[in-house]
Structure 1
Amino acid sequence: MSGWRPDNAPQSRVVSDRGQDDTVLPFAVERLDVRGRIVRLGPSVDEILKRHAYPPAVARILGEALALTVMLGSSLKIAGRFQLQTRGDGPVDMVVVDFDAPDRLRAFARFDAARLSQAPSGADLLGAGHLAFTIDQGAEAARYQGVVALTGQGLEEAAHQYFRQSEQIPTQVRLAVAQHVTTEGVSWRAGGLLVQFLPSASERRGPIDLPPGDAPASAAYEPPREDDAWTEAKALVGTVEDHELVDPTLSSERLLYRLFHEPGVKVFEPQGVRDACRCSDESVRNMLLGFSPQEREEMVGDDGRIGVTCEFCSTFRAFDPSDLG
């Protein structure tokens, strides 16, 4: 994820006022040495959240996780899988989002309904635990995983912490989730904005903003001065409001122009995203074959078949034990 730079040349095209759903739009603000991506999710996030009928509090967490995963996973230049996973001791004890490059997205959340109903409004629902980002690009590439502690800071701040500690790239992230009400009904929407400071001279990024561990306790630590270009970029990103990231009548291009019209912003070819699970009859059958005959016998239901429901897409499949040997 570090050092991301768009490699496709900008092309002229008509900019619509309406947002284009389920897309990731890369952009660059060259005067500020800033690169980034903006994501707008509509039908894909709505399908995923409604499929499981998540309570609103859980849907908002999973919606944020979906937007964050798409922003980070869409940086993969070759086929591969990017996964976000949280594990914690809160009412929402697990969140899993898979992004299969270039455009396949799936997700689910596990929660305790009884604990969730007793949690006060605005409470930390993930609890103490960890957030892990995993990149798997197949057998020919090394698997990468970055982990950051969850201590009640939420996904947006956890992402900032990850980039400070693991990537050491000045990064600003904004996430938003909301329900959109129309005459046709209510639908979920999610959006996100990621901006990174990537000057050609790496020393301009500045060292990580943590005090050196070997300094004596009495020593005063002065963090390095922040680059003026990054200070300006952060200030502009800080003006983004949640509703702007999920407004279907505001296109990504128009939002970027609002933010960066003074320094100038270039946008690149958008990338589509779709709700698509990777499960199949064959993959589930192979999974069952990994169990011993005795274990499979214990899975047989009253109808004499083995039933399996995919946690991601909720598809139910039934297998005859005799077909599994």
Structure 2
Amino acid sequence: MTENLLSALGLDRPESGDDAVVPFTLDKLDTRGRVVRLGAALDTILSRHDYPLPVARLLGEAVVLSALIGSSLKFEGRFILQTQTDGPVNLIVVDFDAPDGMRGYARFDQDALVKAAESGKTSPADLLGNGHLALTIDQGQHMERYQGIVALQGNSLEEVAHTYFMQSEQIPTQVRMAVAQMSTKGDHRPRWRAGGLLIQHLPASGMGVMADLPGNGDFNDPAMADPDFVEADGWSEAKALLGTVGDLELADPDLSPERLLFRLYHETGVRVFPPQTLEERCTCSVDRIEDMLANSFSDEERQEMAVDGEIEVVCEFCSSAYRFNPHQFQN
């Protein structure tokens, strides 16, 4: 099977493993895409805060979605996914530090989460509730920021992603994601794993502007704008085949992204490209926090922050604690 796979996909390298994104194209179907497989990096993000299982799973989906989108950046910048809602999980923030760094954080209401669990409403859509999802691309201090905002109205992150791409990039897009805890021999605890697959229809001519960066374009779904719109056969086939993939396949540690793509699309032809490795990496530092304290607060405010003569700042992402003497900032 391995030799056949290598030959069919034209691979001149080993199959990729965890914590990687693999771009691919389906030339016969006018479709491109990316597969993300996360292992240790995601487990570190989710295990660090000991989130309740439904919260961890939702944050895991947000990390997968951020990796699927952020890995397409062609420059060193940041892709930021943020939800603000009235649900039990009222805030999620995921930073993708291009080309390969990820960190994530979720804030939740414990009482609301218990009530949701008692009523059996712990799906991602239930936990999010109503609010909005903001997707931001930050190209640096002296460059324009791009942002797309999508309403969250009882939708899953997969559904919201579809709306975002039609609204901001006008590109028909489908996303599948799965997050799970799995045990392997020798593990002292189950470990978090995840997988995601994104496909986009890019015909040679036709709908929309095929931009790499999201803007703030109006919703422009041709299927709604034109009652006689007929979806391209290639795109219909690509979506139908994606719909057959199971959650276990997306997160399976023994099924490489290349094998998954071969399983789904070998009859129509799939071409894969070199993988990009991913890692959990927080961007907090002593210098950044010291600069924030020095420039964002007055001497009086810093004195009020001090407990037993120290200001302690704990990073919400990685839980690292930084301590400062409030007098060190005085001129």
TM-score when normalising by structure 2 = 0.88
For the residue of structure 1 that corresponds to 2:190, the secondary structure is: strand
Q: C-alpha displacement at 1:178, in angstroms?
A: 0.3
For the residue of structure 2 that corresponds to 1:244, the secondary structure is: helix
Q: C-alpha displacement at 1:12, in angstroms?
A: 3.5
For the residue of structure 1 that corresponds to 2:128, the secondary structure is: coil
Deviations 1:59-92 (A, max 9, x none): 0100000000000000111111000000000010
Confirm or deny: 8 A CA contact 1:164 1:209 kept in the other structure: no
Q: C-alpha displacement at 1:141, in angstroms?
A: 2.7
Q: C-alpha displacement at 1:223, in angstroms?
A: 4.8
**Runs (5+) with no aligned partner, structure 1:** 1-9, 213-220
Distance in 2 (alpha carbons) for counterparts of 1:117 and 1:106:
26
Provide the aligned C-alpha RMSD in A.
1.7
Deviations 1:161-187 (A, max 9, x none): 111222111111001100011231310
Give 1:159's match in structure 2, choosing from 134, 158, 161: 161
Provide the residue aligned with 2:84 in structure 1.
Answer: 87
Provide the residue aligned with 1:296 in structure 2.
Answer: 302
Confirm or deny: 8 A CA contact 1:22 1:39 kept in the other structure: yes
Give 1:64's match in structure 2, choosing from 61, 83, 89: 61
Provide the residue aligned with 2:203 in structure 1.
Answer: 199
Q: C-alpha displacement at 1:100, in angstroms?
A: 0.7
Q: C-alpha displacement at 1:288, in angstroms?
A: 0.8
For the residue of structure 2 that corresponds to 1:61, the secondary structure is: helix
Amino acid at match of 1:191: G
For the residue of structure 2 that corresponds to 1:125, the secondary structure is: helix
Provide the residue aligned with 1:321 in structure 2.
Answer: 326
Provide the residue aligned with 1:31 in structure 2.
Answer: 28
Q: C-alpha displacement at 1:14, in angstroms?
A: 4.2
Amino acid at match of 1:319: F
Provide the residue aligned with 1:279 in structure 2.
Answer: 284
Q: C-alpha displacement at 1:211, in angstroms?
A: 3.8
Distance in 2 (alpha carbons) for counterparts of 1:105 and 1:209:
34
1:248 equivalent to 2:247? Answer: no
For the residue of structure 2 that corresponds to 1:192, the secondary structure is: strand
1:239 equivalent to 2:244? Answer: yes
Distance in 1 (alpha carbons) for counterparts of 2:35 and 2:108:
29
Confirm or deny: 8 A CA contact 2:136 2:147 kept in the other structure: yes
1:5-44 maps to which residues of 2 (within 5 A)? Answer: 12-16=11-15, 20-44=17-41
Confirm or deny: 8 A CA contact 1:204 1:227 kept in the other structure: no
For the residue of structure 1 that corresponds to 2:137, the secondary structure is: strand
Give 1:208's match in structure 2, choosing from 204, 214, 221: 221
Confirm or deny: 8 A CA contact 2:177 2:197 kept in the other structure: yes
Provide the residue aligned with 1:310 in structure 2.
Answer: 315
1:121 equivalent to 2:120? Answer: yes
Confirm or deny: 8 A CA contact 1:11 1:269 kept in the other structure: no
Q: C-alpha displacement at 1:225, in angstroms?
A: 0.6
Confirm or deny: 8 A CA contact 2:21 2:35 kept in the other structure: yes
Distance in 1 (alpha carbons) for counterparts of 2:101 and 2:151:
27
Provide the residue aligned with 1:143 in structure 2.
Answer: 145
Amino acid at match of 2:203: P
Deviations 1:191-211 (A, max 9, x none): 100000111113599x61464
Amino acid at match of 1:249: D
For the residue of structure 2 that corresponds to 1:45, the secondary structure is: helix
Q: C-alpha displacement at 1:122, in angstroms?
A: 3.8
Confirm or deny: 8 A CA contact 1:11 1:268 kept in the other structure: no
TM-score when normalising by structure 1 = 0.90
1:131 equivalent to 2:96? Answer: no
Distance in 1 (alpha carbons) for counterparts of 2:121 and 2:238:
29
Provide closer, same or farther for how the CA distance between residues 240 and 122 of structure 1 changes in structure 2, counting only shifts above 3 A. farther
For the residue of structure 2 that corresponds to 1:317, the secondary structure is: strand
Distance in 2 (alpha carbons) for counterparts of 1:151 and 1:203:
27
Structure 1 residues 286-295 or 114-123, which shifts more? Answer: 114-123
For the residue of structure 1 that corresponds to 2:291, the secondary structure is: helix
Distance in 2 (alpha carbons) for counterparts of 1:78 and 1:11:
27
For the residue of structure 2 that corresponds to 1:202, the secondary structure is: coil
